Amino acid sequence: MKQNGFYAQSGGVTAVINATACGVLETARKRKGEIGKIFAGRNGIIGALTEDMIDTSRESARTIAALRHTPGGAFGSARYKLKGLEENHAEYDRLIEVFKAHNIGYLFYNGGGDSMDTAQKVSQIGNKLGFPVTCVGIPKTVDNDLPVTDNCPGFGSVAKYVAISTREAALDVASMAKTSTKVFILEVMGRHAGWIAAAGGLAGQGRSEAPHIILFPEIPFEETRFLSRVNECVGRYEYCVIVVSEGTRYANGRFLAEAGARDAFGHAQLGGVASTVATLIRDKLGFKYHYAIADYLQRSARHIASKVDVEQAYAVGQKAVEFALKGQNAIMPIIVRTSNTPYRWTIGQVPLKRVANKEKMMPRTFISRDGFSITKPCRRYLEPLIQGEDYPPYRKGLPYYTELRNVAVPPRLGNRFMLR
Amino acid sequence: MKQNGFYAQSGGVTAVINATACGVLETARKRKGEIGKIFAGRNGIIGALTEDMIDTSRESARTIAALRHTPGGAFGSARYKLKGLEENHAEYDRLIEVFKAHNIGYLFYNGGGDSMDTAQKVSQIGNKLGFPVTCVGIPKTVDNDLPVTDNCPGFGSVAKYVAISTREAALDVASMAKTSTKVFILEVMGRHAGWIAAAGGLAGQGRSEAPHIILFPEIPFEETRFLSRVNECVGRYEYCVIVVSEGTRYANGRFLAEAGARDAFGHAQLGGVASTVATLIRDKLGFKYHYAIADYLQRSARHIASKVDVEQAYAVGQKAVEFALKGQNAIMPIIVRTSNTPYRWTIGQVPLKRVANKEKMMPRTFISRDGFSITKPCRRYLEPLIQGEDYPPYRKGLPYYTELRNVAVPPRLGNRFMLR
């Protein structure tokens, strides 16, 4: 008898994670002879644990199609990491219990490294408990830090947004520099890896074009060297544009902007590095400055999503279903770059255990020797990922983003499950 | 003998001020039988005072046309306000001296209320000194605070950017609220008037849709009432989206941004009202928050400019030249709304003295009684201004923005003029 599938979104959402959902759902609908309904977790994996699932078969084809151009996570996402098997077996047992009750034989888990780890473990547990589940992880992360895959869906659109914003703001500052703002700072995401900050580098070419300085998490922040570069830059070009990663640290490992709070994954909540850098410039150099903090705007900017990114996000969703229906288990679809010019790509796959809990850092060769800009190999890598515009439809001057009905699947288990 | 024209950009630049420049230059080129060259001030009016002007006739027609889709100020702008005639007659005398030396009979001054005042004074002085100059002010300000005109070129595009960003970020936060961020704050421009903050209100309809709270400069900030609304909102919808104007103040007139407080990360407060509001929410309600500061991104976001705004920006430039060539002096072209549905507009004119140094506040009827949202009349006013998309051309994934040659006009006066 054909089995149902379960799809969940995990961690920070992106401008194109719903394009992946669209790929999963449209493909499953096409293959309805082989796979039953796709249930989505309301708020990600929490929806499975609490048996709070959404019946995606209740949505119209038109609504599902519109997911392709709708940012955010249509079913709700969650920052909720399952513990190790030894620490909390109950959560895994519960997942299998719920999957069994709803005849769910396929797990599609759309997230980053943590989620790949969870998907990998569920696949093991299912076998042990006599209810095998075909588990496919689907890559998603603006941080671009999953290994093996050429890049991660979600990243290309952030990269495009950051590159465009840097170029646009630079034109603004350049116009004003004579009598007003001389230094502009754009704070972008990227806690551990500088991929997003690097994308800001696409805004210009050569030393004279903005951004004049990029601060990467990979390069320890040296105040004196930094200030001297800012000063030189203002002297030479009359203004200075800086892209700073939220993850920029001192040599001792401390973030320039560390908050007290930590999230569910134990990560420090960052933000405010732009104001640290701005204060420094004001105090030591006295230049007038402005700063912008892109924050969620960068990862939800579907209005200027990269076409390549949207296509890849859809493709990994589509392929996830196709792989699962071929019986391929404990794998993740990856993006394989087959040519740089012209840019060509295809979808491959990798065992989950090779990607689970691993972070891909920027190669040092992607950062210039002085640590303040990107190299040609980096540009060659990044440029294809921001190609093409995939504009959403508009109504009354605003993008028309769809809203799902999100009808609940009737629970079959009487018991409640208490989340940690 | 036909005379030359002088064009200058003043104050903060916008996504469409170059579209106005394009309107001026293309129209002057079409009317070359009646008007000579257009010289542009390098860095605005400073370029006239220091005799540092740009010969726009040295730019190709294609480059001039590309100004229409290029943000920032192509010739450089300046924050430089001429003093009153009694205080500093020398500056006005100097302008006339330079204009006379270069046979400049037309001044096109593209800016806000200050610039209209300057244009008005130049027109008087010219007459007194026996070198009459036809002075036309051209409206430009993202703040939308010029009187008489229906709206100001530059505002519609910021409004569109802020409305879209609010809608997109809201989808992100809504997805994450179950386990992560519950409050999202977007800081926008508008020191005195809440027009830009109001535009955020277009992102949703009714109390349940984001933004749930708008903080206007016009409405004194009451901490208790605000926090209770945030709390109610998170309780009811699980998340709360706030758009806050940089100009939000306490009842005693003090800006929230000047609170002298430390932000959430312990950094000295730099004028970020978003972090003041975020700290308050963290300390008093304990909700996890994120905030974005749009800063220059909002006023340079040509990639998502409002089509109506671009057309109006061009039209005021075009009409400025046409009015000047009809001998109309000391006036400013204005946008006249002739119909709301469908939206129709035309270009009229107003004497400069009616607009100089005056600010148009938001009518109180545009803000809801509780002070936290916009009313239907406000929505009716704002909606037409963000209509239509006017996408720039792209190359390699980035908008193709033009760069001018900016060839200097050879100086004819030997003397230097010392700026204050």
pLDDT range class, residue A262, cuts 50, 70, 90:
very low
CB pairs under 8 A between A and B: 234
pLDDT of residue B210: 97
pLDDT of residue A261: 45
In angstroms, the CA B293 to CA B245 distance is: 10
Shortest Cα distance, chain A CAs vs residue B210, angstroms: 14
Shared domain check, A85 and A42: yes
pLDDT range class, residue B268, cuts 50, 70, 90:
very low
Q: Is the residue at A274 inside a domain?
A: yes
Residue B235: CB atoms within 10 Å: 9
- Whether A33 has a pLDDT exceeding 50, the answer reads yes
Shortest Cα distance, chain B CAs vs residue A223, angstroms: 17
Tokens for A412, please give them.
């079959």
Shortest Cα distance, chain A CAs vs residue B251, angstroms: 27
C-alpha neighbours within 13 Å on the C-beta side of residue B81: 11
Report whether B125 contacts B107 (CB < 8 A). Answer: no
| Interchain proximity B398–A202, CB inside 8 Å | yes
Shared domain check, A163 and A122: no
User: Residue A287 class from Cβ within 10 Å (0-12 exposed, 13-18 middle, 19+ buried)?
Assistant: middle
Tokens for B46, please give them.
């400073």
Domain end point (choices B300, B325, B340): B300
Instruction: Give the domain CATH number at A132.
Output: 3.40.50.450
For residue A241, give the nearest of A279, A192, A203 by alpha carbon. Answer: A203
- For B267, the closest of A78, A169, A275 (CB atoms) is A275
Shared domain check, A337 and A283: no
Q: To the nearest whole number, what is the mean pLDDT of chain B?
A: 94
Measured CA to CA in angstroms, residue B40 lies from A76, B47, B55, B61 at distances of 53, 8, 7, 16
> What is the percent of chain A with per-residue pLDDT over 90, rounded to a whole number?
89
pLDDT range class, residue B414, cuts 50, 70, 90:
confident
Q: Looking at beta carbons, which residues of chain A come within 8 Å of B383?
A: 396-397
Indicate if the alpha-carbon torsion angle A65, A70, A71, A74 is positive or negative. Answer: negative
Interface test with B, best of A191, A246, A275 (most B CBs within 10 A): A275
Interface test with B, best of A67, A158, A297 (most B CBs within 10 A): A297
Q: Looking at beta carbons, which residues of chain B come within 8 Å of A380?
A: none
Identity at A294, one-letter amino acid code = A
Tokens for A302, please give them.
């579907």
- Whether B54 has a pLDDT exceeding 90, the answer reads yes
Shared domain check, A292 and A159: yes
pLDDT range class, residue A358, cuts 50, 70, 90:
confident
For A117-166, what is each residue's pLDDT tens digit?
999 999 999 999 999 999 999 999 999 999 999 999 999 999 999 999 99
Q: Is the residue at A81 inside a domain?
A: yes
- For B168, the closest of A264, A300, A386 (CB atoms) is A300
pLDDT of residue A87: 81
pLDDT of residue B257: 84
Domain end point (choices B300, B324, B342): B300
Q: Is the residue at B330 inside a domain?
A: yes
Mean pLDDT of A185-214: 95
Measured CA to CA in angstroms, residue A58 lies from A61, A74, A408, A409 at distances of 9, 14, 9, 10
| Interchain proximity B264–A276, CB inside 8 Å | no
pLDDT of residue B85: 80
Type and span of the H or E element at A9 = strand A3-9
Shared domain check, A272 and A309: no
For B279-331, what is each residue's pLDDT tens digit?
899 999 999 999 999 999 999 999 999 999 999 999 999 999 999 999 999 99
- Whether A9 has a pLDDT exceeding 70, the answer reads yes
Helix boundaries (H) for A150-306: 155-176, 195-200, 223-237, 273-285, 295-300
Our count of domains for chain A comes to 2
Mean pLDDT of A177-182: 94
For B322-345, what is each residue's pLDDT tens digit?
999 999 999 999 999 999 999 999
Q: Looking at beta carbons, which residues of chain B come within 8 Å of A43?
A: 178-179
Q: Is the residue at A136 inside a domain?
A: yes
Higher confidence at residue B407 or residue A272?
B407
Q: Looking at beta carbons, which residues of chain A come within 8 Å of B72?
A: 168, 171-172, 174-175
pLDDT of residue A260: 43
Domain end point (choices B300, B317, B333): B300
pLDDT range class, residue A82, cuts 50, 70, 90:
confident
Q: B371-385 b/e with 16+ CB inside 10 Å = b? A: bbbbbeebbebbbbb
Q: Is the residue at B373 inside a domain?
A: no
**Summary count for chain B: helices (H), strands (E):** 13, 13
pLDDT of residue B241: 98
pLDDT of residue B1: 79
User: Residue A393 class from Cβ within 10 Å (0-12 exposed, 13-18 middle, 19+ buried)?
Assistant: exposed
DSSP string covering A328-341: --SEEEEEEEEETT
Q: Which residues make Cβ contacts (< 8 Å) with residue A343, sequence separation at least 6?
A: A308, A337, A384, A387
Q: List residues bridging with A337 in a β-sheet.
A: A345
In angstroms, the CA A322 to CA B413 distance is: 76
Interface test with B, best of A166, A295, A309 (most B CBs within 10 A): A295
pLDDT of residue A170: 98
Mean pLDDT of A182-206: 96
pLDDT of residue A133: 97
Q: Looking at beta carbons, which residues of chain B come within 8 Å of A394?
A: 389
Q: Is the residue at A373 inside a domain?
A: no
Shared domain check, B208 and B106: no
Mean pLDDT of B247-269: 68
Q: To the nearest whole number, what is the mean pLDDT of chain A?
A: 94
DSSP state of A93: H
| Interchain proximity A174–B72, CB inside 8 Å | yes
Write the ipTM: 0.96
pLDDT range class, residue B269, cuts 50, 70, 90:
very low
- For A297, the closest of B71, B165, B267 (CB atoms) is B165
| Interchain proximity B71–A171, CB inside 8 Å | yes
pLDDT range class, residue B259, cuts 50, 70, 90:
low
In angstroms, the CA B152 to CA A63 distance is: 38
Tokens for A144, please give them.
């671009």
- Whether B261 has a pLDDT exceeding 60, the answer reads no
Shared domain check, A205 and A72: no
pLDDT of residue A53: 98
Helix, strand or coil, per DSSP, at residue B5:
strand
Least confident of A406-415, B252-261, B366-375: B252-261
Strands (E), A246-395: 258-262, 268-270, 289-293, 331-339, 344-351, 394-395
Shared domain check, A109 and A62: yes
pLDDT range class, residue A419, cuts 50, 70, 90:
confident
Axis crossing angle, helix A17-30 with helix A307-325, rounded to the nearest 10: 40
Q: What is the domain extent for residue B318?
A: 3-141+305-357+391-399
In angstroms, the CA B177 to CA A78 distance is: 8
Instruction: Give the domain CATH number at A168.
Output: 3.40.50.460
Least confident of A108-112, A204-208, A262-266, B65-69: A262-266
Q: Is the residue at B170 inside a domain?
A: yes
Please state the length of chain A: 420
For B155-199, what is each residue's pLDDT tens digit?
999 999 999 999 999 999 999 999 999 999 999 999 889 999 999
Q: Is the residue at B55 inside a domain?
A: yes
Identity at A20, one-letter amino acid code = T
Shared domain check, B277 and B159: yes
pLDDT of residue B359: 87
Higher confidence at residue B346 or residue A357?
B346
For residue A303, give the nearest of A172, A415, A164, A189 by alpha carbon. Answer: A164
Higher confidence at residue A272 or residue B280?
B280
Shared domain check, B159 and B288: yes
- Whether A365 has a pLDDT exceeding 50, the answer reads yes
Shared domain check, B238 and B196: yes
C-alpha neighbours within 13 Å on the C-beta side of residue A33: 0
Shared domain check, A193 and A289: yes
> What is the percent of chain B with per-residue pLDDT over 90, rounded to a whole number?
87
Q: Looking at beta carbons, which residues of chain B come within 8 Å of A282?
A: 270
DSSP state of B409: P
| Interchain proximity A175–B73, CB inside 8 Å | yes
pLDDT of residue B271: 54
